[in-house]
Chain A
Amino acid sequence: MPAVRPRLLVGLAALATGPAFAADGVSRSPTAILFFLGFVCSTLLITWWAARRTRTTRDFYAAGGNISGLQNGLAIAGDFMSAASFLGVSGLIFGFGFDGLIYAVGGLAGWPLVLFLLSERLKNLGKYTFADAVSLRLAATPIRSLAACGSLVAVVLYLIGQMVGAGKLIEVLFGLDYTIAVVTVGALMIVYVCFGGMIATTWVQIIKAVLLLSGATLVTFLVLRQFNFSFDQLFRAAIEHHPHGIRVMQPGEMVHDPLSIISLGVALAFGTSGLPHILMRFFTVPDAREARRSVFFAAGFIGYFYTLTFVIGFGAIALVAGREGFLDGAGKLLGGDNMAAIHLARAAGGELLLGFMSAVCFATILAVVSGLTLSGASAISHDLYANVWRKEASEREVVTLSRYATIGLGVLAVSLALLFETQNVAYMVLLAFTVGASVNFPLLFLAMYWRNLTTTGAVTGGIMGLVTAIGCIVLGPTVWVEVLGNAAPVVPYKYPAVFAMLASFSGSIVVSLLDRSPRAAQERADFRHQYIRSQTGVGAEGASGH
């Protein structure tokens, strides 16, 4: 008996699941295409403007360090509010009611943790990537290689999930062929990142965040108006229309395996702190103070966004579930549960709102893949090339290489998306979060907080975390049974984050404690200065005035 229902995966990876959409899809509204063309034109204009301001590596990776706290907060929120979390979480609430909220609470909890424990120290220690902060007192070559590896694995997996989902979504919303859709997303993302670097990527993200928040606010307002702004009436209508009845208001409908759901919670709460495209945004602001303000705005917008998603999910139950015109032949929701929010847009605001929300979802995917690609390119060009392979590389060379890396990653993502078109790739987004929580987060956390961490310990722990995460996923129910077609999983758990994180932390700690080499002694001695810098910002990159 599968302990976890397969649809649970959907929340992290709504778009990666590639559900069997009906051939007649949801809509091919001309308004959607108009809104989308408007978005593409304005973002291309911004890219052209940003390209003229992107000369140095600092411009390319960190937007010159000139982004304000509010702008960065919006961009971080934009990175986090992917189409997967909007459509996926509202789809889960549509399917299970109360339990869909776990993604909202788990995902939101990651933000205060980033603020209290990481953001300030990260900003004071790093330059462009989190690997900068980690490799300050540890040996640069192995540590940067490990961090770049963790970043690239997370980025590529996340990219595949988003791209496959993008292709599927666009196929339904715009009636575009899958291949054309994937190539369009890939080409636009390469243009944004290659020419506009972090400046363009940030602004694309800000515009999209504002569009998504306004669209979701409008849908929520229209839904609540139908219920006279009474939550009681909304919930009553939801209970009446949902097949689970009153149980949509109670926990426990979605999962029946406690260990799995706790592991899922761990991946959600700590994965955020290990996703390279989000960590990278803390270097685009001038100082620790602005880094804090970024988290304030980001957490505020994300909390607001999840509240809207909650109303949208219940609104979809009340207004869409089981209604004529939204169902396929088998009585299921057209396009799958992930389309609940899109259907609700039509139910609440007609074709115009449907077109707008469809375009917003497309824009969302585009913005998120751009951010991912930029952080992947920085791992290759800044961490590996400029700091490991060719330490004498000039700034110009590094920026040029970043552009090639962007094109390379874009081509790779498009090819993999074409290759995996018919596969269920939900596990890839899950794996990206798991790698974030079990490789990048422990490395960053221990390097900043624990004096005794040594290079050997960090590398051993990181590799143990990575191997455990990938091993458990491959041997677990999702890949071993569902993809490879074996009868029973070798590892019975769907969410390995808890094991992978334990492996990573214990490997790092035990090996560091056993490390008696002279280099380890030096690394422990160097902790004090790193610590003072992390607390005060004295000596921080790009800091001035002290």
Chain B
Amino acid sequence: MQHLYKLIHANPRFHELERKRSRLSWTLAVIVLANAFWYIGATAFYPEAGFARFWGEPVGEGQALTWGIVIGLIQTVLFIGMVVYYISRANGDLDALKDAVIADALRAAGEQK
């Protein structure tokens, strides 16, 4: 196993994999955290804070629905959408790259024997 790890580490495609995956994970994680804390912050600082004030406004003249509730629902859909996007990437190009890295390592290990 140690030997395989060395071979994988020497493969530039492995570093491409880790770069791509970490960029994807962290970008999405930051978006989720920013959204969640926007929401939490709005609840905490309403109505003083500017980023929260419009949350209590109705979406239209004579409507009962407020922007805050609309944003809450959009966030729910957004979070699930991001989960779907991550999985499609992870199961698609990232897994293909991972399988290629493993195949490279196994082939190299075979040649050395």
Contacts from A to B (Cβ < 8 Å): 98-99, 101-102, 104-106, 108-109, 111-113, 115-117, 120, 231-232, 235-236, 239, 249-252, 254-255, 257-258, 261-262, 264-265, 269, 289, 292-293, 295-296, 299-300, 303, 306-307, 310, 528-529, 532-533, 535-539, 546
Contact = CB atoms under 8 A, between A and B. Distances in A.
Contacts of B102: 536, 538, 546
Contacts of A117: 25, 29
A316 B52 CA distance: 27
Q: Is the interface of B mostly helix, strand, loop or mixed?
A: helix
Given A109-B36, A535-B18, A98 B84 contact: no
A289 B95 CA distance: 9
A533 B6 CA distance: 11
Contact of B47 (A252, A255, A264): A252
Contact of B64 (A112, A232, A303, A532): A232
A495 B55 CA distance: 25
B55 A108 contact: no
Contacts of A306: 76
B33 A109 contact: yes
A113 B36 CA distance: 11
B42 to A, nearest CB: 5
Contacts of A529: 2, 5
A109 B79 contact: yes
A293 B87 contact: yes
Contact of B33 (A113, A249, A539): A113
A307 B72 CA distance: 10
Contacts of B80: 299-300, 303
Nearest to A251: B46
Q: Is the interface of A mostly helix, strand, loop or mixed?
A: helix
Interface string B14-30: 10011001001110110
A439 B55 CA distance: 35
B82 interface: yes
A354 B14 CA distance: 56
Interface of B: 1-2, 4-5, 8-9, 14, 17-18, 21, 24-26, 28-29, 32-33, 35-37, 39-47, 52, 55-56, 58, 63-66, 68-69, 72-73, 75-77, 79-80, 82-84, 86-87, 90-91, 95, 98, 101-102, 105-106
Given A265-B40, A303-B79, A307-B76, 9 more contacts: A109-B32, A112-B86, A249-B64, A251-B46, A251-B56, A252-B47, A296-B83, A532-B14, A538-B8
A276 B24 CA distance: 26
A340 B17 CA distance: 50
B52 A111 contact: no
A307 B74 CA distance: 11
A300 to B, nearest CB: 6
B8 A112 contact: no
B86 A116 contact: yes
Contacts of A111: 79, 83
B104 to A, nearest CB: 11
Contact of B39 (A102, A115, A295): A102
| B18, B44, B47, B52 pick with most chain A CB within 10 angstroms | B44
Contacts of B43: 98-99, 102, 251-252, 254-255, 261
B4 A115 contact: no
A202 to B, nearest CB: 21
A108 B106 CA distance: 40
Contacts of B24: 116
Nearest to B40: A265
A117 B22 CA distance: 9
A111 B82 CA distance: 11
Given A250-B56, A251-B56, A265-B40, A235 B65 contact: yes
27 contacts: A102-B43, A105-B72, A106-B39, A109-B35, A109-B36, A112-B82, A113-B33, A115-B83, A116-B26, A239-B64, A249-B66, A250-B66, A251-B42, A254-B43, A255-B44, A258-B44, A261-B44, A262-B37, A265-B36, A269-B36, A292-B87, A299-B83, A532-B5, A536-B101, A538-B1, A539-B4, A546-B106
